[in-house]
Amino acid sequence: NNTPLHKENIITLVDEKYYDSLLIHRVIPDFMIQMGDPNSKKSNSNSELGFGGPGYIISAEISTKLIHKRGAIAAARLGGDQNPRKSSSGSQFYIVQGKICSDEELDAIENQRIERMTFQLIQSYIEKPGNKNVRDDLITLQNENKSLEFNQKILEIKKILKNEILAFDEFRYTQEQRNVYKTIGGSPHLDFEYTVFGEVIAGMDVVDTISRVETNASNRPKVDIILKISIEK
């Protein structure tokens, strides 16, 4: 219920039997299994899968309360600059298998996330028309290899953006979330980048079995694993 757009969408697709006879087309042990590409239906073994959909995307519903713990169900999506809003595929999703994580691993992932968000914030700041002089100064310092002056300039910008940077603490893990990753595991490097909209409540042994099947170079199972999905109401 925390992701109403994704909930409504998958119920609609299941009611239309959209997923019936599609394949689990991507399997990576200790990570996840992915499905929902309509092009996988009756595809030959050489078909490249993972790019199909119903012809629309879904707005992201990313929440800091919903993490990629073992058994989480999340929407696949295009990555990079082609999808800055992190919109979800209209039909493809994955189930997280993941692995146990240590505090050190979680710290590293958390710090990398905050650094990335800070970089993006600074980049947005210097690209504003009113900050052209700041941007030009940084380019000049960089071209002249004046690293100390460049870093000092970045520190000055960080001071201006102090409140926005402090707000990124929302994207750090709670102790409860850390305990989940340290006990049942998951794939924390995906957190807050993809919309988690469901959870496996029974049958993770099936996910584990699927994760062990033989795959080709594209991580596609060599023996087709065919879907049939229904909704319990």
Interval 111-128: pLDDT, tens: 999 999 999 999 999 999
- Does the pLDDT value for residue 45 go beyond 90? no
Specify whether the CB–CB gap between 10 and 61 falls below 8 A: no
Our measurement of the distance from residue 42's CA atom to the centroid of its chain's CA atoms, rounded to an integer in Å, reads 28
Mean pLDDT, range 146-155, rounded to an integer: 96
Mean pLDDT, range 62-71, rounded to an integer: 97
- Does the pLDDT value for residue 107 go beyond 90? yes
Two structure tokens written together for 138: 């940084």
Q: Across the chain, where does the E strand assignment appear?
A: 24-28, 32-35, 57-58, 72-75, 88-89, 93-96, 196-199
- Does the pLDDT value for residue 46 go beyond 90? no
What confidence tier does 42 reach under pLDDT thresholds 50, 70, 90? Answer: confident
Mean pLDDT, range 66-89, rounded to an integer: 95
Residue 34 neighbours by CB under 8 Å, 6+ apart:
24, 25, 26, 27, 50, 76, 92, 93, 94
Q: Which residue has the higher pLDDT, 42 or 214?
A: 214
Give the pLDDT score at 175.
Answer: 98
Give the pLDDT score at 80.
Answer: 83
Give the pLDDT score at 13.
Answer: 98
What confidence tier does 147 reach under pLDDT thresholds 50, 70, 90? Answer: very high
Name the amino acid, one letter, at 176.
E
* Closest-CA residue to 94 (of 55, 68, 57): 68
Residue 228 neighbours by CB under 8 Å, 6+ apart:
19, 20, 21
- Does the pLDDT value for residue 1 go beyond 90? yes
Give the pLDDT score at 197.
Answer: 98
Backbone φ, ψ for residue 215 (5° rounding): -125, 165
What confidence tier does 71 reach under pLDDT thresholds 50, 70, 90? Answer: very high
Give the pLDDT score at 135.
Answer: 95
Rama region for 63: left / alpha / beta (φ>0; ψ in -120 to 50; rest):
beta
Give the pLDDT score at 30.
Answer: 97
Percent of the chain residues past pLDDT 90, beyond the cut: 94
What confidence tier does 28 reach under pLDDT thresholds 50, 70, 90? Answer: very high
What confidence tier does 233 reach under pLDDT thresholds 50, 70, 90? Answer: confident
Our measurement of the distance from residue 44's CA atom to the centroid of its chain's CA atoms, rounded to an integer in Å, reads 28
* Closest-CA residue to 47 (of 29, 23, 75, 31): 23
Mean pLDDT, range 191-200, rounded to an integer: 97
